[in-house]
Amino acid sequence: MRGLDERDDLQLVHAAQHGEAEAFNVLVLRHRRTVYHTIVGLLGDAEDAEDICQDVFIKAYESLGSFRAGSSFYTWIYRIAIQLKPE
């Protein structure tokens, strides 16, 4: 069996959907910097971006069962970030 960090995102999502919590942690570590910088770019505020970034991954974890492989994991969490972004 390959190590968690050797799996691609879709393999990690599948593992996390089947109860492998560490797989989701790898996804967070892989994407948190990009999500954070994306949110900073949208908001222009680093402190608010930190809070929203955390909320994005909480929402993603809670909604993991609804992820479909029709898009990349990053595209999916980007959509979550846009939905959570304050107006």
**Is the alpha carbon torsion for 59, 29, 54, 37 positive or negative?**
negative
| pLDDT of amino acid 66 | 92
User: What was the pLDDT predicted at 4?
Assistant: 63
> Which class does domain 4-84 fall in?
mainly alpha
Q: pLDDT tens digits for 7-56?
A: 899 999 999 999 999 999 999 999 999 999 999 998 898 989 999 999 99
Q: Considering the entire predicted model, what is its pTM?
A: 0.88
d(C-alpha 48, C-alpha 2), whole Å: 37
| Exposed/middle/buried for residue 70 (C-beta within 10 Å: 0-12, 13-18, 19+) | exposed
